[in-house]
Structure 1
């Protein structure tokens, strides 16, 4: 029961404390890919903690101590409807865990299905009104507002308006389309869908709201960095300035938007990337956030297992 209490307390503290910790310093802008992983791991850790707490409360440590066969047998009995739980509190904990899983699954499904339908309708519109430019490798859309965006999905495509083509130099067009292709190759729409799922499933806690906004910013920084591997940063910055006011459909990823001007400064004055030691610390943080709740929940069972079996172990 101690492990369950620790996990619940961690979840309650982490939803408030983790955003403050992760917002410190400018490390995220120096390694946006790692920062995205840390934010998602933090959200997953907070959601997983009550689930593992429920399991720790429902499955007595002495059951684990007798071996995995006893655990599997108890789980099978629970799935078959047998009343094997030790207390009403354990049943309530499992019910709460089931509600959490159901809430996340429902919100995630609604987001994915809704976005897919919107993208399908937009793809049909592009088929009618747009034209594919083989030289650019993008769909050109007749529009009087300068914008560039990508339409994710199985047949993902980059889109640029005629107004953008008129206002951007050829090298700037190439740079901004490289940005959009980075979104498509990286499947950033799935990353944003995961962040949106957490925020919609749990709208109150600050961690999930902050993670959604921060991840939306970080995927743009990551796409900028990928584009900068093949195109001069000054061309990306110039394109961002001209596309800053361009609006892309909500279910797409656009090069402009409200973060464009801050990204211009980052392109023109790039920060020093994280060193190897700092990256290893970040990766260790991701591993700790993901594996920590399961490890804490397993401690009582593992301790009981060792206490039950170690007296049978002999060196000779």
Structure 2
């Protein structure tokens, strides 16, 4: 019965140390797509630690779980995990607590998805009122929608048929290829399905606000998806064009003042685009991607080592 405890300890250490290590690293701003992958692998590793610990604790506590789980395994494998005599109240309590956490996670994710759908339906209904369909036009046709509005703005509506929305204020403010750069930025969000990353991170953070890795996961997802979309646009239209477009959209919102409260990330994005730090080498990007993919493999290895050792 040591393995479930080791998995819990590994999950706790990962949730505490990973956000600190990633916060000290300088490369995520240069490679936001790789950073998004690393964060997903870290969170997957934490969830995998909890899931495997729950499964093994339940196997120790109840024969009904242990039987199907180890039905094809030799007797020595069961002995290697120390499950033969039952795990007692510790195993039962651990399994029930982790199962409750799993149910709560699923519930929070369901609530987040339902809320997102409700917000999306309300936004599309408002859009149909402000920009009625033309004769012969189909709803959710993937068209670019232009709204009458003095405030420069552009956004995308997620869904099975994402729609790009831009106001007439943005059309009048943005010059040259700046509008194209803004639309490329929004299309980058739509193509990469960043909305799902935001939904998952928000569900975990709201469901477990005291877990550092989930709170940091949500904060970093909001930041990194914007940087990744900026890079998509800048590769086609140039960093200066994207930076000028960001300034044009946000200069009337007070984000560049001495005390910018709303959307404080915008000045940082503009500064990042203007400084143009070089990307990491392809070899280093590949190394980081491979190392991140190995992180979720660690709890799997911890869970399988006793059984594999018994078979050798």
CA distance in 1, matches of 2:130, 2:150: 14
Partner residue, 1:292: 298
Q: Where does residue 69 of structure 1 map in the other structure?
A: 72
Measured in 2, the distance between the counterparts of 1:114 and 1:67 equals: 40
Describe the superposition over 1:45-81 as per-residue Cα deviations: whole angstroms up to 9, x where unpaired: 2222122123334446xx89x975259xxxxxxxxxx
Q: Which residue number in structure 1 is paired with residue 44 of structure 2?
A: 44
Contact 1:132 1:138 in 2 (8 A): no
Using the size of structure 2 for normalisation, the TM-score is: 0.82
**C-alpha distance in 1 between matches for 2:169 and 2:286:** 44
Q: 1:132 to 1:22 in 2, by over 3 A?
A: farther
Change (3 A) 1:47 1:246: farther
Contact preservation (8 Å) 1:36, 1:215: yes
State the aligned residue count: 282
* Alignment of 1:177 onto 2:178: no
Q: How far apart, in 2, do the equivalents of 1:233 and 1:143 lie?
A: 27
Aligned residue for 1:252?
A: none
TM-score by length of 1: 0.81
How many Å separate the matches in 2 of 1:67 and 1:121?
50
In structure 1, runs of 5+ residues without a counterpart are: 72-83, 248-255, 307-316
CA contact (8 A) 2:239 2:276 kept: no
Q: Is the 8 Å Cα contact of residues 149 and 159 (structure 1) preserved in structure 2?
A: yes
Helix, strand or coil at the partner of 1:143 = coil
List aligned pairs for 1:76-225, cutoff 5 A. 85-130=86-131, 138-225=144-231
CA contact (8 A) 2:55 2:95 kept: yes
> Aligned runs of 1:269-280 on 2, under 5 Å?
269-280=275-286
1:131 and 1:139 in contact (8 A); partners too: no
Alpha-carbon spacing, 1:171–1:131, altered in 2? closer, same or farther (3 Å): farther
SS at match of 1:229: helix
Spell out, residue by residue over 1:66-116, the C-alpha distance to the aligned partner (whole angstroms, 9 max, x if none). 975259xxxxxxxxxxxx954333222221221121111111111111011
**1:29 equivalent in structure 2:** 29
1:58/1:90 contact within 8 Å kept: yes
The answer as to whether partners of 2:209 and 2:215 remain within 8 angstroms in 1 is yes
Is structure 2 residue 261 aligned with structure 1 residue 258?
Answer: no
Equivalent-residue separation in structure 2 for 1:290 and 1:127 (angstroms): 44
- Indicate the RMSD between aligned Cα atoms, in angstroms: 2.7
> Relative to structure 2, which stretch is displaced further, 193-202 or 217-226?
193-202
Cα displacement string for residues 286-316 of structure 1 (whole angstroms, at most 9, x for unaligned residues): 222222112111111221233xxxxxxxxxx
Task: Report the Cα distance in structure 1 between the residues aligned to 2:183 and 2:15, rounded to whole angstroms.
Answer: 37
Whether contact under 8 Å (1:58, 1:85) holds in the other structure is no
SS at match of 2:210: coil
Instruction: Kindly indicate whether residue 286 of structure 2 is the aligned counterpart of residue 283 of structure 1.
Output: no
Which runs of at least 4 in structure 1 moved beyond 6 Å after TM superposition? 131-134
Match of 1:56 in 2: 56
Structure 2 CA distance for partners of 1:125 and 1:67, relative to 1, 3 Å: closer
Shift of 1:264: 1.2
Shift of 1:132: 7.8
